[in-house]
Amino acid sequence: MEKNYYDEIAEKVKDLIDKGEFQQAMEQINEELKAPYVPFDFEEELEKLSIQINESFAQNKDNSYLNWNFDKISDIMGQTLDQEMHIVAFDALRSLNARKIMPDIKNYLLNQNVKNEYKTFLLMVLIEQKVDEIIEIKKQELTIRLNPATFDLSEAKNFLTEIEEKLEDLVADQNPSLFTICKHIANTYYYNIFPDFRMEGYGNNEIVAAIIMFAHKSLGLDFDETLKEKLDFNYSKAMLLLNKFDKLI
C-alpha cells in the first residue's frame, strides 16, 4: 500500500527519534501541528511521539537538554531564528525560579522577533509562579502590562472553553473534520492574543463566526450561509475580524 503524506511524516519523526535527534523531531511535530488541518488520527500519533520524546529526555542522562540551568534557558530564549525549543526551555523553567532571569524574560516578552504564542507560554510560567511585578508584553502593535501574581487565569480559560463549546454545538456533529480545524484555529487565536484575549468591540459570537469562516476559507470552501440562522452575530464585524485572522494565525 502506498504511503500518504502523513505516514511519511510520522515515519520521518520516528526515524529522528531512533537516531536521538530529539530537537529535530520535536520541531517537525510542532510544524505539523500548526497546519490549518490536522487529521485526528495523525494528531493523536504526533502527541504520542511527543510524549515519547519527553520520556527520552528524562531517560538519557547525557542529553544536552536534560540538565537545564538558567544559562541554558536564557541561551535558548535568545535563539529567535529557531524558536521551537523555547517550549522545552519553558517546561524546564517551571521547576526553577523564573525570577532569577527576569531581565532576560522582560527582553524576550518585548522582542518583536519572537512569536506571540511563545510569549504566551512563557507568561503562563510567570503566572504559575505568581511573579509579583508589572510585566510588559509586546504583541503586534499592542503593549500589554500586567502583574502575573494577580492575573485571573480562570477567566481566560473560561473564555476559550466557551468558544470551543459554541464551535462544538455548531460544527462537530455536522462536520467533525471541520470542527478539528476550528478548534485548532481557536487555540491558535487564543495563544496569539493572550492575555488580551477579548477584542474590544467584538463579542464571542463574532469570534466564533470568524473562526468558522476562516476554517472554510482554509479548505477552499464557500461560506455556509446557514450559520446566520444558527448563530446570532454581527456579520460585518465577523468579516473585519476574519481579516485580522490573516495576520494573527
35-48 pLDDT per residue, tens: 767 787 888 888 88
Average pLDDT over residues 52-78: 73
Assess whether 112 and 127 both reside in one domain: yes
Band the pLDDT of 61: cuts 50, 70, 90: very low
What is residue 101's predicted lDDT score, i.e. its pLDDT?
Answer: 96
Share of the chain above pLDDT 90, in %: 39
Residue after which a domain boundary falls, among 110, 125, 146: 146
Give the integer Cα–Cα distance in Å for 109 and 39: 33
When the pLDDT of each residue in the chain is averaged and rounded to a whole number, the result is: 86
Assigned domain for 159 exists:
yes
For the chain, what is the total number of helices (H) and then of strands (E)? 12, 2
- Which position has the higher pLDDT, 7 or 71? 71
Question: Could you report the per-residue pLDDT of 107-166, keeping only the tens digit for each?
Answer: 999 999 999 999 999 999 999 999 999 999 998 888 999 999 999 888 888 988 999 999
Least confident of 47-61, 75-89, 117-131: 47-61
Give the integer Cα–Cα distance in Å for 22 and 65: 10
Assess whether 77 and 43 both reside in one domain: no
Assigned domain for 64 exists:
no
Band the pLDDT of 3: cuts 50, 70, 90: low
Give the integer Cα–Cα distance in Å for 240 and 117: 22
Assess whether 157 and 230 both reside in one domain: yes
What is residue 58's predicted lDDT score, i.e. its pLDDT?
Answer: 56
Cell of 106: 522582560
Assess whether 92 and 15 both reside in one domain: no
Average pLDDT over residues 83-95: 87
| 20: region left, alpha or beta (phi > 0 left; psi from -120 to 50 alpha) | left
Residue after which a domain boundary falls, among 86, 113, 146: 146
Assigned domain for 27 exists:
yes
Assess whether 109 and 131 both reside in one domain: yes
Assess whether 109 and 192 both reside in one domain: no
Band the pLDDT of 100: cuts 50, 70, 90: very high
Assess whether 240 and 167 both reside in one domain: yes
Give the integer Cα–Cα distance in Å for 127 and 153: 8
Assess whether 242 and 166 both reside in one domain: yes
Domain count, the chain: 3
Share of the chain above pLDDT 70, in %: 92
Give the integer Cα–Cα distance in Å for 131 and 94: 12
Taking 90 as the threshold, does the pLDDT of residue 170 lie above it?
Answer: yes
Closest CA to 165 of 233, 157, 217, 242: 157
Assess whether 142 and 158 both reside in one domain: no
> What residue numbers bound the domain in which 219 lies?
153-248
Residue after which a domain boundary falls, among 96, 115, 146: 146
* Contact in structure between 101 and 70 (CB atoms under 8 Å): yes
Assigned domain for 65 exists:
no
Assigned domain for 120 exists:
yes
Assigned domain for 30 exists:
yes
Q: Give the CATH number for residue 200.
A: 1.10.472
Assigned domain for 87 exists:
yes
Q: Which long-range contacts (CB under 8 A, 24 or more apart) does 222-230 make?
A: 227/170, 230/170
Average pLDDT over residues 72-91: 87
Band the pLDDT of 62: cuts 50, 70, 90: very low
Assess whether 111 and 167 both reside in one domain: no
Band the pLDDT of 57: cuts 50, 70, 90: low
What is residue 59's predicted lDDT score, i.e. its pLDDT?
Answer: 59
Question: Could you report the per-residue pLDDT of 187-222, keeping only the tens digit for each?
Answer: 888 888 898 876 677 889 999 999 999 999 888 888
What is residue 60's predicted lDDT score, i.e. its pLDDT?
Answer: 55
Assess whether 48 and 13 both reside in one domain: yes
